[in-house]
Chains A and B, each alone.
Chain A
Amino acid sequence: MSDTLAKNPSITDINRNLYDFTKGEKDVEKLASGLTEEIVRQISAKKNEPAWMLEHRLKSLKIYHELKVPNWGPDISGLNIDNIVTYVRPNTKMAAKWDEVPEDIKDTFERLGIPAAERTSLAGVGAQYDSELVYHNIQESVAEKGVIYSGIEEALAGPYAEMIKEHFMKLVPPTDHKFAALHGAVWSGGSFVYVPPYTTVEIPLQSYFRLNSPGAGQFEHTLIIVDKGAHLHFIEGCSAPKYNVANLHAGCVELFVGEGAHLRYSTIENWSKNMYNLNTKRAKVEKNGVMEWVSGSFGSHISYLYPMTILNGEYAKAEFTSITFAGEGQNLDTGTKILHNAPHTSSVVSTKSLSKSGGTSTFRSAVTVTEKAHKSKTIVSCQSLMLDDKSRSDTIPLMDVRCDDVNVGHEASIGRIDDAAVFYLMSRGLSEEEAKTLIVNGFANPISKELPLEYAVEMNNLIRLEMEGSIS
């Protein structure tokens, strides 16, 4: 472990190198490139999973071959799915004790500050290395409340198998889009969380995803069920070193928020800039339930990411707060979908996006208010900041309103950093770079203040890194 991290347990002093270290792929079994029924059967067989799951995988594979890649959004022709090794498994079984995790993997996570953060501020931690979950732990006091936090594959063999079967890919069916179908066929690893009725998990649970092998894919499945009146904050972090070949992340997150329950799902995504991030996240919220998304997208070469909330019960609420920062070589197409499907539901969407050094950032959203959603309210606001004249920023919102007694609001703005503000700060002795960094941090502030401290620090550091050398 490095000295810096020993002294600063949380992720305070990161730099780009920290994410870019790589580990040799020793003793790792790789499946042949390309996606066939044979591979899918092989994956299933190794996992000792129930028969319905194999069926599900094969059905998904068939749908995958039938569906076309989207005709909208960023170009993903650089992703040749036939050359992607869809299944990489480190040579280890899942460990419940940190000491039992193999040295090189442990070292990776230590350098990312994961166990340190667990010691200080988390109720439970799961860590996924390539396509397998390598580490899972939950604080005793939380486990005692009946809160389940384990690997989803492990849970499939346990007492919650039936519950998983009832919910697995019910929110995101394989027919949703091509990459959801891919996920359905080859998914591997991920977490399962169940919070029993009226139980509050005071400190956050966290999953950390790390993709280490070049040309690999990560297809973890996260299933979280927050039962009636329960509270949970779940944090997801992602990173990968940079290789010259494309990597693919096609994970799937399904969140069930019960009556009166409250779930906050925070993500800081910093995949390396060769990543195709085609992740699907979806939440269904019952009566009086609250779903909050906090999302920061910094990494990836290409992203298609639109976490969706289905407000399915009266007075259900959704909040979506996000920031996307697209730099050189990045085309990040992010946003959200909200479906108001019950009376008195409400949603607030607030997003920020930044474009720099030739990066393209697109905000895309769809708010649907169905015939059932009487007296519902929604407000979407998105702000975009252009940091130079080489970059691009698009705003593509959509509102589909099928009910009359509702209130739908939308506002968007785009522009650049105010010269007068930069001048003002420079007149107080700041360099131009410092001034702009400060302004960008201020722009991002509404999001960072929603994050736990160590993540807010990480985000601000990421912004600082992105802004470095931005003044020509």
Chain B
Amino acid sequence: MNTSLNANKLPTLTWNHFKVNHKEIHLSNEPDTAVSPKIITNNSTAVLKDSRTLDDLTFSGSDKKTETYILQNASLTKSIIVPKNNTDTAPLIFDLNLQPADKLTCLLDIVLEENSSANIVVSVSSAAESTAQYADLIRIHAAEGASLKLTCLQLLGKAALSFNNIVACLENEAKVSVLQIPLGAETALASAIMDLRGYHANSEIRSEYIGHLTQDIDLNYVARHYGKKTLSDIKMTGFLSDSSKKTARGTIDFHRGCKGSIGNESETVLMLNKNARNKSVPLILCDEEDVVGTHGAAIGTLDEDRFFYLKSRGIDENSAHRLFLDSAVSRLKGLLPDMLAAKIDNYNKEVLFNESV
């Protein structure tokens, strides 16, 4: 039995025939295989629980059907509670290593009490040959003055499906920075929906991908501005090689009353193969006068001047593609703790380097 979901819904619909209003996926209803996370940290103050803590919080814009699927199927449920005023930012790493045919559903509640900060990394990986299914819901409550850095690294094998969902609620002066790196899986969905409820709440979303083989990457980011003087920034960067495709939805949603808010969104896509396909849908929804919203996107290949420059240094088109890959891999490694950087190297060797470019 399967559950069909219209995932990654666009907050306001547009023409149906472009197929960007949602991403239809089918998730297995088979019971999860037991996967226990390796938790690596020097952080001694965060409290871990095996139960949910954020059921009472409403996250506007969160898809109910997806939520229900995760809650019903989750075999791994954790809460991380960071006590008041605790600012230990040593990374807390959740390392989930899946066997080739595993199915894992995960619910993670992250609670940051007042003026606390945390640095949390969730890494999901498997061997290169894998048909695994991974789905999660990460719920975040950042209380007044709290600050969270959350990184989701996904390195599942070539035939896997990954569905990474983040919803966050931010109170006064809270800040949440999310970095999603959906590198692996045949079908890679990633989404983050930020409720900027409090005064001067601040959300930052970064998404980095390297589309390869027949990968289908589907992204959905929403910053919902409710509080006054709230800030949001969405940045998506990546390139598409082979026959990969990517759909990116990014929405800045200004609600009436969010006076003085600022939202930015930008996207850069480098197309490196004639079979690659890119769709971008950057929305700005605005119900408030006193705001500033901007969006910029650049999609395409290197222009002739740039190619000529590279070629004048003896670098042909193939080497140029290789260079982009190398530079991206080393940039991503720089964003991660050493242990996970090694995983990216592995993935690079086993999948990207071998198969791609």
A: residues with CB less than 8 A from B are 71-72, 364, 366, 371, 384, 386-389, 391-416
Contact = CB atoms under 8 A, between A and B. Distances in A.
A408 B14 contact: no
B14 A401 contact: no
B291 A394 contact: no
B293 A414 contact: yes
Nearest to A403: B274
A216 B254 CA distance: 38
Contacts of A384: 284, 286
A303 to B, nearest CB: 16
User: Which 7 pairs between the two chains have the least Cβ-Cβ distance?
Assistant: A72-B13, A404-B271, A408-B299, A410-B297, A386-B289, A389-B289, A407-B300
A407 B303 contact: yes
B289 A394 contact: no
Interface residues of B, number: 42
B288 interface: yes
Given A366-B15, A406-B301, A389 B280 contact: no
A462 B285 CA distance: 26
B18 A388 contact: no
Contact of A416 (B283, B287, B289): B289
A406 B269 CA distance: 11
A83 to B, nearest CB: 27
Contacts of A409: 296-299
Contacts, number: 136
B299 A395 contact: no
A49 B209 CA distance: 59
A134 B246 CA distance: 53
Given A384-B286, A408-B299, A402 B14 contact: no
A371 B277 CA distance: 9
Interface in B191-233: none
A258 B12 CA distance: 37
16 contacts: A71-B16, A364-B14, A386-B291, A394-B283, A403-B274, A408-B297, A408-B298, A409-B297, A411-B295, A411-B297, A412-B282, A412-B293, A412-B295, A412-B296, A413-B292, A414-B291
B279 interface: yes
Most buried by B among A72, A387, A395, A409: A395
B30 to A, nearest CB: 33
A384 B287 CA distance: 12
Given A393-B286, A401-B279, 19 more contacts: A72-B16, A364-B14, A366-B18, A386-B286, A389-B256, A392-B287, A395-B282, A397-B282, A398-B15, A399-B280, A399-B281, A404-B274, A408-B298, A408-B300, A409-B297, A409-B299, A411-B296, A414-B294, A416-B290
A357 to B, nearest CB: 12
Given A404-B272, A405-B301, A398 B296 contact: no
B18 A400 contact: yes
Contacts of A400: 18, 277-279
B291 A415 contact: yes
Given A395-B284, A411-B295, A415-B292, A401 B278 contact: yes
A392 B291 CA distance: 12
Contacts of B289: 386-389, 391, 416
Contacts of A366: 14-15, 18
Nearest to B256: A389
A416 B292 CA distance: 8
A389 B260 CA distance: 12
A71 B14 CA distance: 8
B280 A410 contact: yes
B148 interface: no
B143 interface: no
Contacts of A395: 282-286, 295
Given A394-B286, A413-B295, A414-B284, A401 B271 contact: yes
Contacts of A364: 14
B218 to A, nearest CB: 14
B160 interface: no
B295 A406 contact: no
Nearest to A404: B271
Nearest to A417: B289
Contact of A396 (B14, B273, B296, B303): B14
A472 B291 CA distance: 20
B118 interface: no
A172 to B, nearest CB: 15
B325 to A, nearest CB: 15
Contact of A401 (B286, B291, B300): B300
A450 to B, nearest CB: 24
Contacts of B279: 398-401
A399 B292 CA distance: 23
A389 B288 contact: yes
Nearest to B257: A389
Contact of B296 (A371, A404, A410): A410
A410 to B, nearest CB: 4
Given A388-B289, A391-B289, A412 B284 contact: yes
Nearest to A400: B279
A409 B294 CA distance: 14
B300 A394 contact: no
Contact of B284 (A72, A387, A394, A399): A394
Nearest to A405: B301
Contacts of A389: 256, 288-290
B161 interface: no
Contacts of A413: 292-295
B285 to A, nearest CB: 5
A344 to B, nearest CB: 12
